[in-house]
Amino acid sequence: MRVYILSYFPDALKVTSSCAWATISDKPAPEIIESLNYRKQLKMIRYAKIMRLSSVLDFPYYIISFADVSRCFTHQWVRYRIAAHMQQSLRYVKVNANNYDWFIIPLSILKTQDPTLIASYIKNILEYGKLYLKLVERGIPYEDARFILPIAVKTHISTAMDAEEILHVIYQRTCMDAQWEIRIATLTLYTGLLAVHHEIFSGWGPSCIVDGICRGRGKGKCLSDVKRMLNELEKHSYKIRSMLEEAKNNDIIQYDLTNILGYKVPDKVKEEVYELLGYRVHLDYEVKLYIRKIT
């Protein structure tokens, strides 16, 4: 999985808070923006988050992209409609089903560490890929041949979304009850946004963190795990922030979160899977964050 933060307003805190303070001032935002100190900026953003002031949090905008994700993920992601989405179209793009890296293997399958089960999953997926290619070779349009493709097929999607909607996504999808792929994507995005705009996104998380109420099926049993995860990711966000500060405008920094959010299959299991398949397949589930420096 690759998560990209492509664009954002670098002075979002300053501009947004000045517009918010202007609503209770006799002066318009342009006349108070330069005199508004950091303490007052932070106070307004915190108040907006506590009171759920959508008119304030609608102002900061972000353009993000996800790659090496499944259609299962994007079917969930596009449900967030207070946003604009542009996704790879399989009506026009031919899936390269000749290789062994065009689909996602769920973590639950990899974590069984059962070589037979993992190999069986891969073999069956590849059969669908072979049939897809046969249909294309027979002149069947991509848009019809894609009907045979599994929901595991890799895709990529770009989204424009404001801070309020992203906070809503984080509130729902960082819950341990969320489906694993969208949870990992959201946690990765959250880590990057903490580095970009810590004041806007800090202290946020699922309902157990924000409201002190468990809305999942865990009945609060996973609270300590959630706190540990968010604290660890926040520590990494400070490292990422330092990298951003040192980067030049338009540089894209990369940060590997595989050891925290992804999964590395034990070498012994990999070798047994390769032996069953007769060829090598990339089995590790890697999670990488990319942020474009904007000044």
**Which residues does the annotation mark as catalytic?**
173
DSSP 8-state class, residue 99: S
Buried b (16+ CB within 10 A) or exposed e, 134-158: ebbeeeeebeebbebbeebbbbbbb
Provide Rg for the chain, Cα atoms: 22
Question: Do 146 and 177 touch, CB atoms closer than 8 A?
Answer: no
Query: To 5 degrees, how large is the angle CA 255–CA 57–CA 184?
Result: 30
Spatial CB neighbours of 245, under 8 Å, sequence gap ≥ 6: none
Tell me which residue of 284, 263, 267, 275 sits closest to 119, measured CA to CA.
275
End-to-end CA distance of the chain: 26
Dihedrals φ, ψ of 34, to 5°?
Answer: -80, -20
Sheet with strand 288-292: strands edge to edge: 83-87, 154-162, 61-70, 2-8, 288-292, 252-256
Query: To 5 degrees, how large is the angle CA 219–CA 222–CA 227?
Result: 130
Tell me which residue of 160, 166, 200 sits closest to 65, measured CA to CA.
160
Question: Do 62 and 292 touch, CB atoms closer than 8 A?
Answer: no
